[in-house]
Structure 1
């Protein structure tokens, strides 16, 4: 059914395994817990999921690092602005 549907839609053939891999990758990119994805795939261990989706996990880690740095920079900026306002109010 998959092969016929893809053919009818003029989409390159993809295997069921390929769909499974794409499905899991999409879930991970959408920030669904790797624990949930591992369970959904029926992996005996999260280590199996990490092994096969390490490339996705690496990209997500890089994004998390950037988001963490951005968060703390914003917090420092807000703290700096709050301190500045406090000093200005004390001077009045």
Structure 2
């Protein structure tokens, strides 16, 4: 058991399944989606942060990973999607932005190669 979570589990003595999102008040002993959103909304309001849902956080997490260059296949697996296409379809706006950003990379790469060749072989750039 993770040391950081140990105090949480000590406070939830009926948590025999060792669930992080445990609720002794629900039928299946888990916090439901609506309650998680409610708690998140309250927390964000206290911090004066614009509201977002749990699903929105999940989408933001995926978007950040993609923007930082993490492979879409890994992001898909991390999100638990059975098919990469699901991730691709859900994040198409991010992927299109990345494609636009990447369009300038080949020119930059070849310019650097040209400069390197010029230095190595003494060829003047024109």
Q: Which runs of 5+ in 2 are unaligned?
A: 1-38
Q: Where in structure 1 do 4 or more consecutive aligned residues deviate above 6 Å?
A: none
Tell me which residue corresponds to 1:40: 78
Which structure has more relative contact order (CA 8 Å, sep 6+)? It is: 1
Alpha-carbon offset, residue 19 of structure 1: 0.8
Q: How many Å separate the matches in 2 of 1:83 and 1:40?
A: 47
Structure (1 or 2) with the greater helix fraction: 1
* Alpha-carbon distance between aligned partners in 2 of 1:53 and 1:30, rounded to the nearest angstrom: 14
Q: TM-score, normalised by structure 1?
A: 0.82
Partner Cα separation in structure 2 for residue 62 and residue 13 of structure 1: 30
Q: SS of the residue aligned with 2:49?
A: coil
- Separation in 1, partners of 2:112, 2:52: 44
Aligned: 1:9 with 2:47? yes
Q: State the number of aligned residues.
A: 85
Provide the residue aligned with 2:67 in structure 1: 29
Alignment RMSD (CA, Å): 1.5
Alpha-carbon distance in 1 for matches of 2:111, 2:51: 46
Superposed displacement of residue 52, structure 1: 1.1
What is the TM-score with the length of structure 2 in the denominator? 0.62
Structure 1 unaligned blocks of 5 or more: 86-92
Q: How many Å separate the matches in 1 of 2:78 and 2:118?
A: 45
Matches of 2:51 and 2:86, distance apart in 1: 26
